[in-house]
A and B are shown apart, each in its own frame.
Chain A
Amino acid sequence: MFTIDTLFSMLSLTLIYATPILIASLGGLLSERSGVVNIALEGLMMIGGFAGATATVLLQDVFPVAVTPWVGVFIGMFFGALISVIHAYVSINLKADQVISGTAINLLAGGLTIYFAQIIFNQQRTETFRNGFVKTNIPFLREIPILGPIFFTNIYYTVFIGLALVVAVWYVVYKTPFGMRLRATGENPQAVASMGVSVLKMRYYGVILSGAFAGMAGAIMVLTQDTQYTGVSIHGTGFIALAALIFGKWNPWGVLGASTFFAFSQVFAIYANNFEWAQSFPLEVFKALPYVLTIIALIIFSNKSVGPKAAGEIYDVGKR
């Protein structure tokens, strides 16, 4: 049975599913704006998810229930940033192909997380955590018609962090000197260097910030959508975030729209059983849907490449 309440709960869940995609994608935005393609988002999310879940398990007796997952998110952020330094060093200092370096990080993350799960928990996954994030209803605000049931009922606080980060990233990238330098580094690094700004430094900022964002996204994803970290916890969300970045035309608001779109297609797969016409399709059709929709969306909306001009290009001091 499909009711208006179903629609509202679908939309709240869409916001919840959009959050990790959105945050990782904003991270990718900062990195690519500085001129470094970060295909490692998926692996960095794995690192963040694993670190976050592990911290939450190990610290659940130390910190109060409500605090533990936040500590997890913070630790996930830290390790995401830490591992992204490898990508930064290899692709900026050693002038490696950024896509290959990113692929290496993705592979490494898959191995490292499960290896450490074996060492710490003696199994292929982390232990189940008791205190992940809990859905809440926000008093008063939930009474608002339409917006109340979507935004403020059965929602995680992390959703608001995602939305706040959109505004923050937009402000930093478009309204501050730092953002201007960052964008210029991704468009024309030689010009930036001639102004006395270090291209190297700007790119390091971009990549490390993207690592922190992706780590946070991974931790939030595992701590809201899962009960433990496993090898398939992230299942391609980092790659979807990458697609959201292209679909959103490297703009924070565009990224917000694209992430919500991809999240809705995932949520739709979950709710497919509620629709009579959808019941005759096998489950696999809906599981494949987000990925197929991504391709279709890219065909429709990415007719012209509008990304940062120097993204993916090795910085060559001598080039003019």
Chain B
Amino acid sequence: MNKFMNYITDEKNFKIVVPMIAVFSAFLVGTIIMLVTGENPLEAFKAILRAITGMNLDKIGTDKFFNSRMFGEFITTMLPITLTGLSVAFAFRTGLFNIGAEGQLMMGAMAATVVSILVKAPVFIHLPLVILASILAGALWGLIPGYLKAKFNMHEVVVTIMLNYTALYTSNLVLKALPGSDSVKTVKSQVTGTLRSEFLSDLTNGSRLHWGFVLVIIAVFAFWYIIEKTTFGYELRAVGFNKEGARYAGMKVNLNIMYSMAIAGAFAGLAGAMISVGTFDYGRVIAASEGYGFDGIAVALLGGNTAIGTIFGGALFGGLKASQPLMQSNGVPLEIAKIISSLMVLFVAMKFGIQEILKRQRLLAAKKEAK
């Protein structure tokens, strides 16, 4: 058996191999869909490459070949998605399915906007207040389904979905009520209350890259530390593995469920700040959810609910999202990016199936060799 087959069918490597197969299969099916519907997959792939690396293959040899702004925009797009990924992954570790990252993000974005517009303080007080507000708002919004789950055994999936819609209208209501808002956006945030940076923007040829990336790195580290290095994280994981077992071992299961949802909400709330005081410097009244929460689900699943995995997943989905406008200008409907990302979730969901196929391949190969 050749080395490649041996590697991918080895159970030890499934953690990396299975997501890779899922990603590959999703791109494959996406390509087939494009071919069948008469679109050019090459244009889609060129758009993705350009979005992630800033390299435009159509302009090889000219000074327009590389544009660092694309790369800056890619990182900017990746930041909130990585954080909602952490949010979903954190809840997953406790055996909870947080479909509510979207709503928690909206509440975080709203709180950050409110504090950045209304509070007047020097930057070293103002900015931490803005960030704290987003984290708290997200945590509180996450605590609601956590509390209802712990207290009434209500399924967090239905509750968080309802809270997503509630958050949409609540945040729109509040943003519109701020002084100077019109029906689509608020006034500009005060400079002391945003993450935006002329320096980072200049560095990347005028992209919207902001200081939020520092906070995301801290968040990834915090996720890893809480889950892997603290007793609290151990308890959360224990509840995720076996709720009754954890209860029997004397752990406060219900309390842990509430903490877990609140922390998951905190990550998503911070993601909201990335958008409202990072990418933009004003609050936006939006008509419908933008799918960050669902991207987070995909990111968490692809990343195997680990901190490192979430970074890779965040990069992949950030790239797909950032490539959408480029696809449109290349003449490919941008929804193909959404189709590919949803196919990734579908293929990750099939992980047991993929594992079984791999195991069968290994058995077959072993039999052949025995002959």
Binding site for B on A (CB under 8 A): 39, 86, 90-91, 93-97, 99-101, 103-108, 110-112, 114-116, 118-119, 231-232, 235-236, 239, 242-243, 246, 282, 284-285, 287-288, 291-292, 294-295, 298-299, 302-303, 305
Contacts and interface: CB of A to CB of B under 8 A. Distances in A.
Nearest to A243: B158
B158 A94 contact: no
Contacts of B335: 111-112, 114-115, 118
A305 B153 CA distance: 8
A161 to B, nearest CB: 26
Interface string B161-188: 1110110111011001100000000000
Interface of B: 33, 37-39, 97, 99, 148, 152-155, 157-159, 161-163, 165-166, 168-170, 172-173, 176-177, 287-288, 291, 294, 297-298, 301, 333, 335-339, 341-343, 345-346, 348-353
A294 B159 CA distance: 8
Contact of A108 (B154, B342, B348, B350): B342
Contacts of A119: 37-39, 333
A288 B168 CA distance: 8
A284 B169 contact: yes
A295 B159 contact: yes
Contact of A299 (B148, B163, B352): B148
Given A236-B161, A284-B169, 13 more contacts: A39-B157, A90-B350, A95-B352, A101-B346, A110-B342, A116-B37, A118-B335, A239-B158, A246-B158, A288-B166, A288-B169, A294-B158, A295-B163
Contacts of B338: 107, 110-111, 114-115
A112 B33 CA distance: 10
Mostly helix, strand, loop or mixed at chain B's interface?
helix
Nearest to A232: B288
B161 A239 contact: yes
A299 B152 contact: yes
A180 B57 CA distance: 61
Contacts of A116: 37
A86 B157 CA distance: 21
Contacts of A246: 155, 158
13 contacts: A90-B349, A96-B350, A104-B343, A110-B291, A110-B338, A114-B338, A232-B288, A235-B288, A239-B162, A288-B165, A291-B162, A295-B163, A298-B154
A97 B297 CA distance: 13
Nearest to A240: B162
A295 B162 contact: yes
Contacts of B159: 295, 298
Contacts of B154: 298-299, 302
Counting chain A CB atoms within 10 Å of each CB, the highest count among B37, B39, B341, B350 belongs to: B350
A284 B173 contact: yes
A291 B158 contact: no
Nearest to B144: A295
Contact of B294 (A95, A99, A107, A115): A107
Contacts of A114: 333, 335, 338
Contacts of B287: 232
A231 B286 CA distance: 14
A213 B153 CA distance: 29
B353 A101 contact: no
Contacts of A111: 335-339, 341-342
